[in-house]
Structure 1
Amino acid sequence: MTILTALALSMLPLPSFAQERIALLVHDAEAIADALSGLPVIEVHLGKKAQTRFALFTGRNVGKRTDLIVDGQVLTSPVIQTQINTSTLQISGVGTMAEAVALAARLSAGAAMVEVQLAAD
Protein backbone atom coordinates (compact mmCIF):
# COMPACT_ATOMS: atom_id res chain seq x y z
CA MET A 1 0.00 0.00 0.00
CA THR A 2 1.39 3.39 -0.92
CA ILE A 3 1.49 6.30 1.48
CA LEU A 4 -1.05 8.11 -0.69
CA THR A 5 -3.45 5.14 -0.55
CA ALA A 6 -3.05 4.88 3.22
CA LEU A 7 -3.72 8.61 3.58
CA ALA A 8 -6.80 8.37 1.39
CA LEU A 9 -8.13 5.42 3.41
CA SER A 10 -7.51 7.24 6.70
CA MET A 11 -9.69 10.10 5.49
CA LEU A 12 -12.74 7.90 4.87
CA PRO A 13 -15.52 8.44 7.40
CA LEU A 14 -15.75 5.83 10.11
CA PRO A 15 -18.98 3.84 10.27
CA SER A 16 -21.54 5.57 12.46
CA PHE A 17 -23.23 3.62 15.21
CA ALA A 18 -25.82 6.42 15.44
CA GLN A 19 -27.79 4.55 12.78
CA GLU A 20 -27.52 1.21 14.56
CA ARG A 21 -31.05 0.12 15.35
CA ILE A 22 -31.77 -3.06 17.23
CA ALA A 23 -35.12 -4.76 17.56
CA LEU A 24 -36.16 -6.08 20.97
CA LEU A 25 -38.48 -9.06 21.21
CA VAL A 26 -40.93 -8.39 24.03
CA HIS A 27 -41.93 -11.46 26.04
CA ASP A 28 -44.82 -9.65 27.73
CA ALA A 29 -45.81 -6.18 28.93
CA GLU A 30 -48.10 -4.70 31.54
CA ALA A 31 -49.37 -1.18 32.23
CA ILE A 32 -48.85 -0.13 35.85
CA ALA A 33 -48.74 3.06 37.89
CA ASP A 34 -45.20 4.18 38.74
CA ALA A 35 -44.58 3.67 42.46
CA LEU A 36 -43.08 7.17 42.93
CA SER A 37 -44.98 9.41 40.53
CA GLY A 38 -48.25 7.51 40.13
CA LEU A 39 -48.01 8.10 36.38
CA PRO A 40 -48.70 5.26 33.96
CA VAL A 41 -45.69 3.25 32.79
CA ILE A 42 -45.34 0.04 30.86
CA GLU A 43 -43.34 -2.73 32.46
CA VAL A 44 -41.74 -4.72 29.66
CA HIS A 45 -40.25 -8.19 30.00
CA LEU A 46 -37.66 -9.10 27.37
CA GLY A 47 -36.69 -12.54 26.19
CA LYS A 48 -33.13 -13.71 26.93
CA LYS A 49 -31.79 -12.89 23.45
CA ALA A 50 -33.30 -9.37 23.55
CA GLN A 51 -31.88 -8.84 27.06
CA THR A 52 -28.40 -9.76 25.83
CA ARG A 53 -28.66 -7.49 22.75
CA PHE A 54 -29.94 -4.61 24.88
CA ALA A 55 -27.15 -5.10 27.44
CA LEU A 56 -24.52 -4.97 24.67
CA PHE A 57 -26.13 -1.87 23.13
CA THR A 58 -26.40 0.01 26.42
CA GLY A 59 -22.92 -1.09 27.52
CA ARG A 60 -21.23 0.48 24.50
CA ASN A 61 -23.39 3.62 24.59
CA VAL A 62 -23.24 4.76 28.24
CA GLY A 63 -23.64 8.53 28.46
CA LYS A 64 -25.44 8.78 25.13
CA ARG A 65 -29.07 9.58 24.44
CA THR A 66 -31.02 6.73 22.87
CA ASP A 67 -34.40 6.61 21.20
CA LEU A 68 -36.93 3.99 22.25
CA ILE A 69 -39.01 3.44 19.15
CA VAL A 70 -42.37 1.68 19.07
CA ASP A 71 -43.97 1.12 15.68
CA GLY A 72 -41.65 3.67 14.08
CA GLN A 73 -42.40 6.46 16.57
CA VAL A 74 -39.92 7.68 19.18
CA LEU A 75 -41.62 7.19 22.53
CA THR A 76 -38.81 8.51 24.73
CA SER A 77 -35.11 9.43 24.46
CA PRO A 78 -33.35 8.85 27.77
CA VAL A 79 -29.60 9.09 28.38
CA ILE A 80 -28.07 5.69 29.12
CA GLN A 81 -26.61 6.04 32.63
CA THR A 82 -25.17 2.54 32.92
CA GLN A 83 -25.27 -0.77 31.11
CA ILE A 84 -28.73 -2.28 31.45
CA ASN A 85 -28.55 -6.04 31.85
CA THR A 86 -31.99 -6.97 33.06
CA SER A 87 -34.99 -8.57 31.45
CA THR A 88 -37.46 -6.06 32.91
CA LEU A 89 -37.66 -2.45 31.70
CA GLN A 90 -40.06 0.41 32.32
CA ILE A 91 -41.24 2.76 29.60
CA SER A 92 -42.52 6.10 30.83
CA GLY A 93 -44.14 8.96 28.92
CA VAL A 94 -46.85 6.71 27.54
CA GLY A 95 -49.79 9.08 28.01
CA THR A 96 -52.87 8.03 29.92
CA MET A 97 -53.39 4.72 31.69
CA ALA A 98 -55.81 3.69 28.92
CA GLU A 99 -53.11 4.38 26.30
CA ALA A 100 -50.55 2.46 28.39
CA VAL A 101 -52.91 -0.52 28.70
CA ALA A 102 -53.54 -0.54 24.94
CA LEU A 103 -49.83 -0.34 24.09
CA ALA A 104 -48.92 -3.00 26.68
CA ALA A 105 -51.53 -5.33 25.13
CA ARG A 106 -50.04 -4.76 21.65
CA LEU A 107 -46.51 -5.36 22.96
CA SER A 108 -47.56 -8.58 24.71
CA ALA A 109 -49.30 -9.84 21.58
CA GLY A 110 -46.22 -9.15 19.46
CA ALA A 111 -48.25 -6.67 17.43
CA ALA A 112 -45.89 -3.73 18.08
CA MET A 113 -42.25 -3.43 17.02
CA VAL A 114 -39.85 -2.20 19.72
CA GLU A 115 -36.45 -0.87 18.66
CA VAL A 116 -33.67 1.25 20.13
CA GLN A 117 -31.07 3.42 18.43
CA LEU A 118 -28.82 6.30 19.36
CA ALA A 119 -30.66 9.60 19.19
CA ALA A 120 -29.60 12.12 16.59
CA ASP A 121 -28.29 15.23 18.29
Structure 2
Amino acid sequence: MSVKFTKDHEWVKVEGDEATVGITAYAAEQLGDVVFVELPEVGASFGQGDEMAVVESVKAASEVYAPVSGEVTAVNGDLEGEPQKVNESPDGAGWFVKLKLSDKSQLDALMDEAAYKAHIS
Protein backbone atom coordinates (compact mmCIF):
# COMPACT_ATOMS: atom_id res chain seq x y z
CA MET A 1 0.00 0.00 0.00
CA SER A 2 1.45 3.33 -1.01
CA VAL A 3 0.57 6.72 0.42
CA LYS A 4 0.82 9.85 -1.71
CA PHE A 5 0.23 13.51 -0.86
CA THR A 6 -1.03 16.64 -2.64
CA LYS A 7 0.18 20.21 -2.29
CA ASP A 8 -3.29 20.96 -0.85
CA HIS A 9 -2.61 18.58 2.08
CA GLU A 10 -4.74 15.59 1.10
CA TRP A 11 -3.37 12.06 1.42
CA VAL A 12 -4.35 9.06 -0.65
CA LYS A 13 -3.68 5.43 0.28
CA VAL A 14 -4.00 3.03 -2.62
CA GLU A 15 -4.84 -0.66 -2.36
CA GLY A 16 -5.50 -2.27 -5.73
CA ASP A 17 -7.77 0.13 -7.59
CA GLU A 18 -9.32 1.60 -4.44
CA ALA A 19 -8.03 4.81 -2.90
CA THR A 20 -8.79 6.05 0.61
CA VAL A 21 -8.59 9.85 0.94
CA GLY A 22 -8.21 12.16 3.93
CA ILE A 23 -6.39 15.30 5.02
CA THR A 24 -2.92 15.29 6.52
CA ALA A 25 -2.05 15.82 10.18
CA TYR A 26 -0.49 19.14 9.13
CA ALA A 27 -3.79 20.28 7.57
CA ALA A 28 -5.79 19.15 10.61
CA GLU A 29 -3.39 21.04 12.87
CA GLN A 30 -3.68 24.21 10.76
CA LEU A 31 -7.49 24.01 10.80
CA GLY A 32 -7.76 23.58 14.56
CA ASP A 33 -10.78 21.81 16.07
CA VAL A 34 -12.91 20.32 13.30
CA VAL A 35 -16.63 20.83 13.99
CA PHE A 36 -18.26 19.68 10.74
CA VAL A 37 -17.42 17.59 7.68
CA GLU A 38 -19.51 17.64 4.50
CA LEU A 39 -18.94 14.49 2.45
CA PRO A 40 -20.07 13.64 -1.09
CA GLU A 41 -22.68 11.00 -1.95
CA VAL A 42 -21.63 7.43 -2.70
CA GLY A 43 -21.66 7.08 -6.49
CA ALA A 44 -20.50 10.65 -7.14
CA SER A 45 -17.58 10.96 -9.58
CA PHE A 46 -14.75 13.47 -9.36
CA GLY A 47 -11.91 14.49 -11.60
CA GLN A 48 -8.45 15.03 -10.16
CA GLY A 49 -8.43 18.40 -8.36
CA ASP A 50 -12.23 18.71 -8.12
CA GLU A 51 -13.70 19.94 -4.84
CA MET A 52 -14.94 16.77 -3.15
CA ALA A 53 -15.70 17.61 0.47
CA VAL A 54 -15.69 20.50 2.94
CA VAL A 55 -14.21 20.48 6.41
CA GLU A 56 -15.13 23.22 8.88
CA SER A 57 -13.27 24.10 12.04
CA VAL A 58 -13.67 26.74 14.69
CA LYS A 59 -11.21 28.83 12.62
CA ALA A 60 -12.19 28.28 8.98
CA ALA A 61 -13.89 26.21 6.33
CA SER A 62 -11.67 24.47 3.82
CA GLU A 63 -12.30 22.48 0.66
CA VAL A 64 -10.96 18.98 0.25
CA TYR A 65 -9.94 18.19 -3.32
CA ALA A 66 -9.88 14.83 -5.06
CA PRO A 67 -6.20 13.83 -5.30
CA VAL A 68 -7.10 11.42 -8.12
CA SER A 69 -10.09 10.89 -10.41
CA GLY A 70 -12.62 8.29 -9.40
CA GLU A 71 -16.05 7.29 -8.17
CA VAL A 72 -16.96 7.42 -4.49
CA THR A 73 -17.52 3.87 -3.20
CA ALA A 74 -17.75 4.73 0.52
CA VAL A 75 -17.83 7.73 2.84
CA ASN A 76 -16.82 7.85 6.49
CA GLY A 77 -20.24 8.30 8.10
CA ASP A 78 -18.62 8.42 11.56
CA LEU A 79 -17.46 11.96 10.79
CA GLU A 80 -21.04 13.27 10.83
CA GLY A 81 -21.41 12.65 14.54
CA GLU A 82 -17.73 12.73 15.44
CA PRO A 83 -15.94 15.30 13.25
CA GLN A 84 -13.16 15.49 15.86
CA LYS A 85 -11.87 12.16 14.48
CA VAL A 86 -10.25 14.27 11.75
CA ASN A 87 -8.09 15.90 14.46
CA GLU A 88 -7.60 12.75 16.54
CA SER A 89 -6.62 10.44 13.68
CA PRO A 90 -6.26 12.36 10.40
CA ASP A 91 -4.45 9.49 8.67
CA GLY A 92 -6.57 6.74 10.23
CA ALA A 93 -10.12 6.85 11.61
CA GLY A 94 -10.52 10.40 10.23
CA TRP A 95 -10.50 9.33 6.56
CA PHE A 96 -13.09 11.02 4.32
CA VAL A 97 -13.91 8.85 1.28
CA LYS A 98 -12.93 5.77 -0.67
CA LEU A 99 -12.68 6.11 -4.45
CA LYS A 100 -12.56 3.55 -7.25
CA LEU A 101 -9.60 4.85 -9.25
CA SER A 102 -10.27 5.75 -12.85
CA ASP A 103 -6.64 6.57 -13.79
CA LYS A 104 -3.83 5.13 -11.68
CA SER A 105 -1.21 7.11 -13.63
CA GLN A 106 -2.42 10.27 -11.83
CA LEU A 107 -0.69 8.96 -8.71
CA ASP A 108 2.68 9.58 -10.38
CA ALA A 109 2.15 13.36 -10.13
CA LEU A 110 1.64 13.25 -6.34
CA MET A 111 4.31 13.56 -3.66
CA ASP A 112 5.71 10.77 -1.54
CA GLU A 113 6.08 11.32 2.21
CA ALA A 114 9.61 12.77 2.00
CA ALA A 115 8.59 15.28 -0.67
CA TYR A 116 5.50 16.25 1.32
CA LYS A 117 7.53 16.80 4.49
CA ALA A 118 9.86 19.07 2.51
CA HIS A 119 6.80 20.89 1.08
CA ILE A 120 5.45 21.78 4.56
CA SER A 121 8.75 22.62 6.22
Higher helix fraction: Structure 1 or Structure 2?
1
Higher strand fraction: Structure 1 or Structure 2?
2
TM-score by length of 1: 0.36
TM-score by length of 2: 0.36
Larger Rg: 1
Structure of greater relative contact order (alpha carbons < 8 Å, 6+ residues apart): 1
